[in-house]
Homo-oligomer: A and B are copies of this chain.
Amino acid sequence: MRDVTRRQLLGPIAAAAGACALSSCWSGKTGPYADRERRPESPWAYAQLDPDVTAEKAYRDYQKGHCMYGVFAGLVSQLAERYGEPYQSFPFGMMAYGAAGAGGWGSLCGALNGGGAAIGLFVAGEPQRTLLIDELFLWYETAELPAHVPESPILEMEMPRSTAGLVLCHVSITNWCKASGYKAAGKQQKERCRRLTADTARKTAEILNRNLAGQSFAAADFSEDVCGCKACHTKGSEMENSKGKMSRGSCHFSLAGEHP
């Protein structure tokens, strides 16, 4: 396990060696944790997952525990099926708490919370872990979603797409309702979030695959273009009373009344 973890963190050098993880040295019942008495600390070893299989699995897993559960189980339970322990003892059901922005609060999109949790499970080093999260969250803010076409749709419908604009469930759903004309909390919105769960699981698998293969991730640009608040409010600025990377547009959409 120690070798595998180091390999994940070594970046480009590890690309060739990493291929080993996909074949005989990890395969079958031996797996990365053949010795059950070893209790692995995180990060746990990751192995390449098929993004399309992952998306379809997450789409189905949504039915068992909603968005966060769908993404996390869609990814990690495949390793449980392939290798057994320690993956199969993970208490997957706990992830249901993240539904609809955590307990229905509309904060961080549960699909992203599940993707973040999976990245946290498999990637411990910094800045690597944060680079992967940035890649996932920035994709989510700007992609036209949902894009997943289920093999056998739970709800058959022509699916409108929208850009979430922000990583928050509340904003993401409202933007889709505006674009589609459908109501929040309807069966179409549920199908939208089910397919979005599939998309987010696919993207997370792609990112983790690239990381395992040693591909590098560029630091994202969180400049003024992304967040108009930074000039006055973030580190090194005059007021320096704010943190975070979220796009300002959809929250403080009119500052005319009280803001300079």
Q: Does A41 contact B (CB under 8 A)?
A: yes
Q: Does A49 contact B (CB under 8 A)?
A: no
Are A41 and B91 in contact, with the CB atoms below 8 A?
Answer: yes
Q: Does A258 contact B (CB under 8 A)?
A: yes
Q: Does A157 contact B (CB under 8 A)?
A: no
Taken residue by residue from 226 to 260, chain A's Cβ proximity to chain B (1 for < 8 Å, 0 otherwise) reads as 00000001110000111111100001111111110
Of the listed stretches A9-17, A54-62, A96-104, A206-214, name the one at the interface; the rest are far from the partner chain: A96-104
Main secondary structure of the interface of A (DSSP, over half): loop
Are A251 and B251 in contact, with the CB atoms below 8 A?
Answer: yes
Interface size in chain A (residues, C-beta < 8 A): 71
Copies in the complex: 2
Are B105 and A117 in contact, with the CB atoms below 8 A?
Answer: no
* Chain B residues with CB under 8 A of A234: 184
* Chain B residues with CB under 8 A of A102: 108, 112-113, 116, 133, 137, 167
* Chain B residues with CB under 8 A of A116: 97-98, 102-103
Of the listed stretches A22-30, A168-176, A194-202, name the one at the interface; the rest are far from the partner chain: A168-176
Given contacts A103-B134, A254-B256, 5 further A-B contacts (CB under 8 A): A43-B91, A101-B244, A106-B246, A107-B244, A184-B234
A interface, CB within 8 angstroms of B? 39-44, 86, 88-98, 100-108, 112-113, 116-117, 119-121, 124, 129-130, 133-134, 137, 167-170, 173-174, 177-178, 183-186, 233-235, 240-246, 251-259
6 A-B pairs with the lowest CB-CB distances in the bound complex, closest first? A106-B244, A97-B120, A103-B133, A254-B257, A42-B91, A177-B241
